C-alpha cells in the first residue's frame, strides 16, 4: 500500500487535539467532540458514517482530513484461536500483530516499530534488524482493525506492546497513542514491555497516567543478560534494577518480569533463586516463557523440557514470588513470543 494523501489522518490523535484541529471547520465545540467520538469511540472508517453531522460538514471534513488504518494483507488463524495479522503501511513496509481470545476477553499484541534494533539473540524480530518507529495512527490503527474484525463481542480488551519493536525507543509516538487508547481501554489493561531502556523507563515513570510495565529480564546477572540482550551493555542490569526499585506503582500494581528460559543457559534452579534475590525488594510477578525455537535464526538456543520449566517456576514460587508459566499461543502460525517478522510473501519489509 502506497499512500501520498496529504490530508491529515485523524486516527491516533487524542480527542482534545482533534477538537483543536477541527475548530476552523465547526461552529460549535460539541460538534468537534462528536467527530472525535466517532473516530475514537465508534471506530468510524470514514466521515459518511457520521450520521449526526450535516452532509456539508462531512464533505468539508473529507477535503481536509481522512480516517485511515493499516491495510490487512494477511490474516492467519491458529488452531488455538489466536490470529496473526500482517498489516501494510503507507510507505510499503509491513508489521505484524496478534489477537488472542480467551475466556470472554481479547488480548491484542501490538507492534511499535517495523523492526527492532535491540537485537535480542532469541527473538526473530531482533535478529532481522532495525526498522522505523511507528506513528500514532499506525499504532492505534492496529487496535482499530482488530476490533472491527471481531466475530463476537468480548467482555474486555487488553493491550500488550509485545509485538515488533522496542516501545520505549518510540516514546514520542507511543505517548500520543496511549492517550488515544486510554479513551477506550483503561491504563490498567495496557502493558508496555521493554528490554530495559533506562531513559524510556524514566519517561514512563513521569507520566500522570501510566500503563503497566513489563521488563524482559532473561538472566539474573549482567554477563549472561548482555550475552542474550546486547542492549544490556548500554543499560547494565544494576542500573536498571535501581531504576525499577524507584518506579512509581499504583495501589495493587506490580512490575512484570519476563523470563525466557533457554536450555542449559538460564534454566537452573540456582538461576531461579538468583532471580528471586534480584527482584525481592520490588512488587513483582514473573512470567516464565519457554523459548520458542527457531532453527533458522538462532539454532544455538533450545527449549528446555517441560520438567525443567516446571522446576524453574516452582523454585521461583518457593522463593515467595508470583509466577506464571506462559505457554505461548499461536505457535503453529509463527505468532508466538519472539516470532514476529513483519514479512509478506517471503520478502523482508524493514527499513533499508
Q: In what order do the strands lie in the sheet containing 284-290?
A: 71-77, 83-88, 94-102, 105-109, 156-161, 190-194, 212-216, 255-261, 284-290, 322-325
Catalytic residue among 109, 151, 337, 352: 337
154 half-sphere exposure, CB direction, 13 A CA radius:
20
Q: Which residues pair with 90 in a beta bridge?
A: none
Q: Which residues pair with 287 in a beta bridge?
A: 258, 324
Closest CA to 39 of 16, 3, 20, 12: 12
Find the angle CA(323)-CA(338)-CA(184) to the nearest 5 degrees. 75
Number of neighbouring beta carbons within 10 Å of residue 41: 11
Distance between CA atoms of residues 283 and 246, nearest Å: 11
Instruction: Encode burial over 58-72: b for 16+ CB neighbours within 10 A, e otherwise.
Output: bebbeeebbbbbbee
For the chain, what is the radius of gyration of the CA atoms? 21
- Catalytic, 120? Answer no
Catalytic residue among 17, 96, 166, 250: 96
Q: What is the largest CA-CA distance in the chain?
A: 70
Distance between CA atoms of residues 345 and 338, nearest Å: 20
Distance between CA atoms of residues 253 and 244, nearest Å: 13
Q: CA separation (Å) from 187 to 161, 211, 253?
A: 12, 5, 11
Phi-psi region of 338 (alpha: psi -120 to 50; beta: other; left: phi over 0): left
Cell 528471586 belongs to 276
- Catalytic, 116? Answer no
Residue numbers annotated as active site: 96, 337
Amino acid at each position: 500500500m502506497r499512500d501520498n494523501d496529504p490530508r491529515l489522518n485523524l486516527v491516533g490523535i487524542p480527542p482534545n487535539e482533534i477538537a483543536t484541529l477541527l475548530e476552523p471547520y465547526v461552529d460549535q465545540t460539541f460538534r468537534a467532540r462528536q467527530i472525535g467520538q466517532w473516530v475514537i469511540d465508534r471506530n468510524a472508517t470514514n466521515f459518511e458514517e457520521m450520521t449526526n453531522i450535516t452532509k456539508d460538514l462531512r464533505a468539508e471534513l473529507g477535503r481536509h482530513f481522512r480516517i485511515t488504518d493499516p491495510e490487512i494483507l494477511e490474516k492467519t488463524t491458529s488452531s488455538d484461536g489466536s490470529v496473526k495479522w500482517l498489516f501494510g503501511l503507507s510507505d510499503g513496509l509491513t508489521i505484524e500483530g496478534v489477537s488472542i481470545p480467551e475466556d470472554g476477553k481479547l488480548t491484542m499484541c501490538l507492534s511499535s516499530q517495523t523492526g527492532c534494533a535491540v537485537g535480542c539473540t532469541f527473538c526473530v524480530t531482533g535478529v532481522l534488524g532495525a526498522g522505523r518507529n511507528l506513528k500514532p495512527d499506525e499504532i492505534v490503527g492496529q487496535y482499530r482493525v482488530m476490533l472491527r474484525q471481531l466475530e463476537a463481542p468480548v467482555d474486555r480488551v487488553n493491550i500488550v506492546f509485545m509485538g515488533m519493536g522496542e516501545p520505549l525507543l518510540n516514546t514520542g509516538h507511543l505517548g500520543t497513542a496511549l492517550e488515544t487508547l486510554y479513551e477506550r481501554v483503561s491504563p490498567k489493561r495496557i502493558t508496555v514491555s521493554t528490554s530495559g531502556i533506562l531513559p524510556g523507563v524514566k519517561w514512563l515513570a513521569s507520566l500522570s497516567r501510566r500503563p503497566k510495565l513489563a521488563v524482559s529480564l532473561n538472566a539474573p546477572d549482567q554477563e549472561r543478560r548482555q550475552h542474550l540482550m546486547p542492549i544490556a551493555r548500554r543499560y547494565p542490569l544494576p542500573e536498571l534494577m535501581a531504576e525499577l526499585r524507584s518506579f512509581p506503582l499504583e495501589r495493587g500494581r506490580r512490575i512484570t518480569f519476563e523470563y525466557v528460559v533457554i536450555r542449559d543457559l538460564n534454566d537452573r534452579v540456582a538461576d531461579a533463586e538468583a532471580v528471586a534475590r534480584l527482584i525481592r525488594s520490588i512488587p513483582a510477578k514473573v512470567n516464565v516463557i519457554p523459548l520458542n525455537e527457531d532453527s533458522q535464526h538462532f539454532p544455538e538456543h533450545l527449549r528446555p523440557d517441560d520438567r525443567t520449566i516446571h522446576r524453574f517456576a516452582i523454585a521461583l514460587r518457593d522463593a515467595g514470588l508470583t509466577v506464571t508459566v506462559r505457554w505461548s499461543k499461536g505457535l503453529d502460525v509463527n505468532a508466538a513470543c519472539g516470532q514476529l517478522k513483519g514479512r509478506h510473501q517471503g520478502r523482508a519489509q524493514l527499513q533499508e
